[in-house]
Amino acid sequence: MGLLTARRLAQDGACVVLTDVNEEALVAAAQDIVNEGAQAVTMQVDVRRYDQVQAAVALAMKQYGSVDILLNCAGGASSRVFGRSEPFHEVPIEVIDWGLDVNLKGAVYFCRAVLGQMIRQKRGVVINMGSVEGVTGSRCLDYGAAKSAMIGLTKSVALYGAPHGIRSCCVSPGPVLTRPEMARMKTRLGRAADPDEVVGLILYLCSDEAAFITGANYMIDGGRSIGGPD
């Protein structure tokens, strides 16, 4: 969803900086964007490393002169990423640390790195990617905790940035068809979201049409979080 958002923003005229731990995938993705006539540069970044986060922001400033939109979308349930199925109290602490660091700490790092520049510009939008499991809870405890904290981060950035023309919103999807198994997760609407549906919401929140929206968490989960009788 991060890559799809970057491509859509680039198609609309934005200059994008792509970051990821996978350098090969980054280069290929940026080349696709450039081939479509837009501007994109890349930097390999581990979001757990603040020096690398800072370097990515410095690249954006050197290349384009401003940072107008930040999309914090690095993440994933540690249990899935590391293939862990044991009870939480038996999960290695290193796995839990990864879940908290990637899903929450990386977003805090990026906010720290961009807010000074956004204050100087007197404008900026921060979009944090949450999850339905940040609202309902999760069997992967560190994931649920981190995604719930993304809502608090969003509100805090909104308070901090409002006097300077900076907005912050959280987008919390339910199951999204970024991989086939997501189709098996139940929603009240009986399906998973197409990635374009989530990206459309992100693009709206980044736009001037959403200029009076800040500090809010937007559920896009097909009703998964509303509860009620089956």
pLDDT for res 53? 98
Check the CA dihedral 227-189-155-20 and report its sign.
Answer: positive
Contact of 138 with 77, CB cutoff 8 Å: yes
Is residue 113 included in any domain, yes or no? yes
Is residue 86 included in any domain, yes or no? yes
Q: Kindly indicate the confidence band of residue 181, based on its pLDDT and cuts at 50, 70 and 90.
A: confident
Contact of 198 with 155, CB cutoff 8 Å: no
pLDDT for res 222? 97
Question: Would you tell me how many other CB atoms lie within 10 Å of the CB of residue 79?
Answer: 21
CATH number, domain with residue 146: 3.40.50.720
Is residue 228 included in any domain, yes or no? no
Query: pTM here?
Result: 0.95
Is residue 229 included in any domain, yes or no? no
CA proximity to 80, closest of 8, 171, 143, 3: 143
The amino acid that residue 163 corresponds to is P
* Total tally of structural domains belonging to the chain: 1
Q: Kindly indicate the confidence band of residue 228, based on its pLDDT and cuts at 50, 70 and 90.
A: confident
**Distances in whole angstroms, Cα of residue 197 to Cα of each of 90, 151, 193, 204, 222:** 37, 20, 6, 11, 11
Active-site residues, by number, are 143
- Kindly state the average pLDDT of the residues 20-43: 96
Is residue 48 included in any domain, yes or no? yes
pLDDT for res 35? 97
What is the chain's mean pLDDT, rounded? 96
- Kindly state the average pLDDT of the residues 153-158: 98
Contact of 1 with 176, CB cutoff 8 Å: yes
Instruction: Tell me which residue range forms the domain holding 213.
Output: 2-222
Q: Kindly indicate the confidence band of residue 66, based on its pLDDT and cuts at 50, 70 and 90.
A: very high
pLDDT for res 175? 95
pLDDT(182) > 90: no
Separation between Cα atoms, residue 179 and residue 11, nearest integer Å: 24
pLDDT(94) > 90: yes
Is residue 230 included in any domain, yes or no? no
pLDDT(230) > 80: no
pLDDT for res 56? 98
Separation between Cα atoms, residue 103 and residue 13, nearest integer Å: 29
For 130, residues 6+ apart whose C-beta sits below 8 A from its C-beta are 147, 148, 150, 151, 154, 170, 171, 172, 173, 217
Separation between Cα atoms, residue 226 and residue 188, nearest integer Å: 8
pLDDT for res 25? 95
Task: Express each pLDDT in 207-217 by its tens digit.
Answer: 999 999 999 99
pLDDT for res 224? 95
Q: Kindly indicate the confidence band of residue 227, based on its pLDDT and cuts at 50, 70 and 90.
A: confident
- Kindly state the average pLDDT of the residues 130-135: 98
pLDDT for res 179? 85
Is residue 227 included in any domain, yes or no? no
Could you tell me what percentage of the chain is helix, strand and coil, using 3-state DSSP and rounding each to the nearest 5?
A: 55, 15, 30
Is residue 61 included in any domain, yes or no? yes
Separation between Cα atoms, residue 56 and residue 48, nearest integer Å: 13
Helix 93-100 and helix 141-161, axial crossing angle in degrees, nearest 10: 30
Strands 15-20 and 124-129: unpaired
